[in-house]
Amino acid sequence: MSVGDRPGNAPEDRREERRAALREALLAAAERTIAAQGLAALRARDLAREAGCAVGAIYTVFPDLDALALAVNLRTLNLFDAALGPAERPDGAIDGPAAAADELVRLGLAYLAFAGAHPLRWDALFRHRPPPGQRAPDWYVAEQARLFSRIERPLAALRPDLPEPECRLLARSLFSATHGIVALGLDEQRMALPVATLRVQLEILVRAMATGLTAQVSGDCRSGT
């Protein structure tokens, strides 16, 4: 149990190791807290007690509690990404508009299922606001973009006529619409719908959007501003 029993472990490595262990302990404690009591329950003193360190130690591995919440949110995003299954379907590309619509519905239902299974964690994803003037880190928006690309693939199959920028934009809007249905539908203070009811609503509307979008392909959209 001596300090330097492993050869090649420079002192600075061991320091980094301790830092990483503390970081992990804090992250785990924060994750438990958010999952069990929500983002608002994330308090420095409780966190330090749970992680077995002093309050000041938190600020040696995270600039502030916002960064810690952001780190938890990244884990939530990864969790959701895993819940969606492998990015590429084994059978390759999506063959037709019907399959594309089915895939969009599948993604929407998976989103709803995840939000229903981890309500507080998922709530933290959108409730958390960085301090004013501060931008979200690059790795965070990159992770977001990775998830959006899951929508872009079936959408491109649904609307092969769309140029790529428009497709990316529409994919994001499609996500936003789905998010709205899930977020307000699960919101206890606003709609508080049962998940089963919400599933039906979500499928109805996502399928309606898919159908309606294919109908617009013939360029009959008379709303050209």
Residues near a second copy (CB under 8 A) = 105, 129-130, 135-136, 144, 169-170, 172-181, 183-185, 189-191, 193, 197, 200-205, 207-213, 215-216, 221, 223, 225
Judged by CB under 7 A, which stretch of 49-57, 92-100, 111-119, 137-145 contacts DNA? 49-57
What does the chain come to in residues?
225
- Please pick, from the candidates 1, 5, 7, 11, the single residue that binds DNA as defined by CB under 7 A: 11
Q: Could you give the residue ranges of the DSSP H alpha helices within the chain?
A: 11-37, 44-51, 55-61, 65-83, 97-117, 119-127, 138-158, 164-186, 195-215
- What's the rounded Cα separation, in Å, for the pair 58 and 67? 11
Decide if 28 contacts 55 (C-beta within 8 A).
Answer: no
**Closest approach of a second copy to the CB of residue 191, in Å:** 6
Residue (20 or 98) nearer to a second copy, CB: 98
> Does 205 contact DNA by CB under 7 A?
no
The candidate with the shortest Cα–Cα distance to 140, out of 85, 69, 86, is 69
- Binding partner of 69, given a second copy, DNA, none, CB within 5-8 angstroms per partner class: none
